[in-house]
Chains A and B, each alone.
Chain A
């Protein structure tokens, strides 16, 4: 949206004190009316309508564009008020007592103007605004201001999108929702003129949904490896729900349970009034950037478009507590709440307020009255009495837990829930607690690994905002589950995240005794500090390390430290050869000592780390180069560096992430190095750790490392692409200028030679960088895919497979999961991260689909076993080839 480029435009001034320019001006009468329209319903919308109508009519001179804009702002930014805006527009269609009934009414003029704005939304494919306007037009049809035939034609323009060849899921979904919701609201009027037009829309939707089975399978919120069909309990897919209720509504002639305040008003006199005919629209095709890079490149530099998938919203509560989105009333409530969450993302505090005020826009009886509120004067019209707070929680969490990713960052939804809690702690608190317990219990039933990860993130950040007050005691019995059971992972990982946000002693204090014991594997025995191997004075290399630390502390030059390390290597080689030991480990040892010492210097804080890295970059580069002098460094040396980092921060995964992120940033290691190292690292589980984890398995910790590396490589390509695009534009402009200043007006239309423009060296460099970075991105993706394949379908020669990796794929195994141990759960989780990798990175994977398929899946050619079949099925669906 455009809120960035128009900081303030006469809306409502809520935050005077935050207005940094302190510029206050009087509102003009035009603005006053506009604001009155936008603010409709501060107290009671129905009672306010006559006053606002009078206010609008009192305006002189009338400014139709300004009034239409007020309706646009109102309808697109507050869709939950649309029925009342339809009522207001209906009132403005009345002829005033002193008016001439033959002149077009004020309302009609506004509607004609409003239409132009709608056309503009469609032309720029502003789907959110388009959808709200269609709701408005459907209500206007129901209010008999718009001709039903023209609404039917409008909705058909959107169902036509579903028939487009190769239509993307995102585009089809948005178009389908426009058509479906227009039909829900205006269906009664449509059916009255033609019983076939509703069923045409319903059929079109049904046919489209049938093509999405595979896509639904891969984003269902439970990870059930054995099941080839979509098998979803406690979640509803958005378009499925829409289709279900359209069918239900069709059966009752679209008597949809939404407020229709205009239905009270008398019919307009047909002698003077003809309903507005919505003009024809055409939904324009998506803009595809075709501008490619130079022809020898396989990849284009067009912006990568996020892939969109079916949307499964989790249900956390029974139907009598929160609305079932497969019922018309439930669908409407959820659609309104989702719209509020989407539109008010720019201000989570206002968003929270609007969510809690939402019941006033619904039919009486939709929600239970607030406890202690005076008895309502209006009789309930519907008997639902849902719980508002639980409904809000279910909807916000549902939106935040969509696979493969949510529309906004997790922290938005988390912050939003915090604000809702702050506004009404007594009523929202219990709903939060119940939501946590519900999600926690579904961890045993295959709740997806990335949904679990986000759940942990929400839980820990939420607790950090509310005094870390959680009743951990109730989960003590679950400590008897397998150590890698999702519930135990949840407990362990959430506590780790809580400790990151707070500090060790504070969090441990909140835990019951049973969770303290080391056997409980719940919290570490001490605060997650560094693990400096050479700290112990009895360590054979303690003194050697101290000398290096002293050089660092004395801020010696990097060259001097390099020289010192060379001397140390000579000494150690002499010692080794004198004692008859092999010399080959000495370089590894030197690297380990150097890196651990540097990390030790940088362990006081993130800034200390940055200072240490930056001051000793030449040293780090020298270590990374091994003994070679190639630009890419030595793979062996980089493995040593990464091992040293993992060992130094073995108790603190956050620090491993931070150090690797900065080592990649400073180009000590490349993203591919990190991915390769991660997969090698999980192959070798230390004996002491074997009780806790299976080899060749990924947990959320390793997934974080992979994600860090993947995103770094992708981020570099995206930066480089932006730079390249800017340079290209600049270059084109300078060429154009050069051409123009050449002054050869080409009257005959003959193309003359372009005046020679000097090669732009910056552009050449940028093209080269882009191609290098694109190669690196491809290599990271390829290495990750190979890594997953090696974990999940280990070759016969694999040295450290997870012994249970092929045993978790059958239905029997799944039903026997109560008896699963560490290895089974580890294998299951690794499958989960594989699915997440394929779906979340699908837009990037698609660019290299052919090569990656060949590299990773060629060895399965001609054979069929459950693991390789499943690997390839997930892969093929993700890249859009199944």
Chain B
């Protein structure tokens, strides 16, 4: 119903400021995007909480589902820094999340979703000077869910912090650091063949090489809404 109201699943002015793809190409990518950028997360929110909420928009009977979740991490400390990417198998699921989930609470914070061009290596890390997201560099308010914790913070949250701090200590950089989530169904060869084949779908690889992606991770740029 585009006449009477604006649909909630339209792309916003969110963009990946480091993307080297031209505007027209970006629009094409967004029109088929299966990936969401999710912002304003608490640092404590786990991938399983994210999975639980975003699986409500999945269409498994249509070949969909949650392909993978990529937690945004502080570049230096490797701890969650308040954003993530949720990648589905189908575009319709990403749109459904825009309509139904964006603007509702996850872990008691109002989260914001935006259609994303698609995850590229390096984008899992914060781009702020001190490793986290840029918005947390300049933020003045006290936000217990985003690192603004101290005496007032609940004991329970300190315990949760301990757990999250450990969780991603093993996070890697470089190709293959982030799992693909499993590709389309394929005819199985003999099961005991010792082929070391990765589960990424061929489409993923094609897309990577086509876009010739490059990132400038040290630059203080931001993937967030301006």
Contacts and interface: CB of A to CB of B under 8 A. Distances in A.
Interface of A: 1-3, 6-9, 11-15, 18, 20, 22, 38, 73, 77-78, 343-350, 409-412, 414-415, 418, 457, 461, 464-465, 467, 497, 500-503, 505-506, 557-559, 604-608, 610-611, 613-614, 617-618, 621-622, 624-625, 629-633, 654-655, 658, 661-662, 665-667, 708, 710-712, 714-716, 718-720, 722, 765, 768-769, 772-773
Contacts of A411: 56-57, 96, 100-101
Interface string B95-133: 010011101111110000000000000000000000000
Contacts of B9: 346
Contacts of A662: 181-182
Given A502-B107, A605-B48, A11 B190 contact: no
Nearest to A722: B63
B192 interface: yes
A606 B191 contact: no
Nearest to B177: A611
A80 B195 CA distance: 62
B46 interface: yes
Contact of A633 (B13, B180, B191): B191
A412 B100 contact: yes
A606 B48 contact: yes
A3 B7 contact: yes
A88 B24 CA distance: 43
Contacts of A613: 179, 182, 199
Given A501-B49, A614-B180, A409 B194 contact: no
A621 B191 contact: yes
B71 A629 contact: no
Contacts of B4: 11-12, 38, 73, 77-78, 344, 350
Interface in B22-71: 46-53, 56-57, 59-65, 68-71
Contacts of B101: 411, 415
A715 B60 contact: yes
A1 B56 contact: no
B151 interface: no
A666 B62 contact: no
B38 to A, nearest CB: 14
SS class, residues of chain A in contact with chain B = helix
| CB-CB nearest 4 A-B residue pairs | A610-B179, A665-B182, A719-B63, A711-B60
Nearest to A505: B156
Interface in B131-163: 156, 159-160
A409 B96 contact: yes
Contacts of B62: 715, 718-719
Contact of A607 (B1, B70, B197): B70
Nearest to B54: A411
Nearest to B195: A618
Contacts of A15: 6
A163 to B, nearest CB: 33
5 contacts: A464-B105, A607-B69, A622-B192, A629-B192, A720-B185
A14 B191 CA distance: 56
B8 A346 contact: yes
Given A3-B1, A14-B6, A505-B156, A500 B100 contact: no
B190 A9 contact: no
Q: Residue among A414, A607, A715 with the most chain B CB within 10 A?
A: A607
Given A409-B56, A621-B191, A711 B61 contact: yes
Interface residues of B, number: 71
Contacts of A667: 185-186, 188
Nearest to B187: A769
B216 interface: no
A223 to B, nearest CB: 23
Interface of B: 1-13, 46-53, 56-57, 59-65, 68-71, 96, 99-101, 103-108, 156, 159-160, 166-168, 170, 178-182, 184-192, 194-199
Looking at chain B's contact residues, is the secondary structure mostly helix, strand, loop, or mixed? loop
Contacts of B184: 719
Contacts of B10: 7, 18, 20
Contacts of B199: 613-614, 617, 666
B69 to A, nearest CB: 5
A503 B49 CA distance: 9
A607 B179 contact: yes
A212 B215 CA distance: 62
Nearest to A844: B61
B226 to A, nearest CB: 11
A267 B139 CA distance: 67
A722 B184 CA distance: 12
Contacts of A457: 56
Contacts of A654: 48, 51-52
Given A73-B4, A411-B57, A625-B192, A716 B47 contact: no
A708 B60 contact: yes
A283 B49 CA distance: 48
Nearest to B65: A661
Given A20-B12, A614-B198, A621-B191, A9 B186 contact: no
Contacts of A715: 59-65
B147 to A, nearest CB: 18
Contacts of A624: 191
Contacts of A629: 190-192
Given A77-B1, A464-B106, A719-B185, 17 more contacts: A12-B4, A18-B13, A344-B4, A346-B5, A409-B100, A464-B105, A558-B196, A606-B47, A606-B48, A606-B50, A607-B70, A608-B167, A610-B182, A622-B192, A715-B62, A715-B64, A722-B63
A11 B192 CA distance: 60
Contacts of B159: 505
B3 A77 contact: yes
